[in-house]
Amino acid sequence: MVERQSPLEPVLQVGSHGNFEHGVDIILSETQPGSILQLAAWPGEEKKLISVIRTVTGLALPDGAGGGSTDGARSVFGFAPGKFTVVDEAEGLVSAFAGAVTPAIGTVTDLSHGRTAIRIAGPKAEWVLAKFFAIDFALPAFPVGAGRSTVHHDVFAQIQRTGADQFDVYVFRSFARSFWKALCHASEEVGYEVQ
């Protein structure tokens, strides 16, 4: 099996960086999930799609825009009306959905290569992300599991909160290196560790 190449490879430098002498407040990593899918329902078919997602992944989606959940290995969240991002550590999730999402329900689009998943964790995760995105990262406004679509200049991002102090940011692969470098730069003042 050929290994997938990460766009971050030459710039991902494991270790502590920036102002870390008094400890690091940010941990950055690339999660490299095997599968990243976009599922989209036709208007009126959202409930059916949500139930397919539950059947295939075991993850229940809470009601409402941007609702999502994660069990560590698999994650799902809404990012647009009737549209969901489903992520799995393992490859091959697309085939599990291909049959289950019938043409009457909606479509499946495989983005496993096209998106890069960057995890930012630590007590200053909200602080650093707020430098880039004009959305409210406070826990009450952005609960664990929920997803958001937003943009920093030309870099589109889907962001899922996967912990009180942890966010998974999905960016276009071609922008990933540029965004990673910016993220490192912005994390310097609080000290960061790359894992």
- Which residue among 100, 135, 143, 163 contacts other proteins (CB under 8 A)? 135
CA proximity to 176, closest of 36, 66, 74: 36
CB 40 within 8 A of CB 107: yes
- Which residue among 27, 50, 66, 87 contacts other proteins (CB under 8 A)? 66
Rounded Cα distance, 92 and 191, in Å: 37
Q: Does 139 bind other proteins (CB under 8 A)?
A: no
Q: Does 84 bind other proteins (CB under 8 A)?
A: no
Three-state secondary structure call for residue 104: coil
- Which residue among 133, 143, 163, 166 contacts other proteins (CB under 8 A)? 133
Q: Does 110 bind other proteins (CB under 8 A)?
A: yes
Count residues contacting other proteins (CB under 8 A)?
A: 63
* Contact flags string 11-40 toward other proteins, x per CB under 8 A: -------xx------------------x-x
Q: Report how far apart, in Å, the C-alpha atoms of 42 and of each of 48, 79, 85, 134 are.
A: 10, 15, 15, 30
Q: Does 83 bind other proteins (CB under 8 A)?
A: yes
List beta partners, residue 189: none
CB 39 within 8 A of CB 53: yes
Q: Does 113 bind other proteins (CB under 8 A)?
A: yes
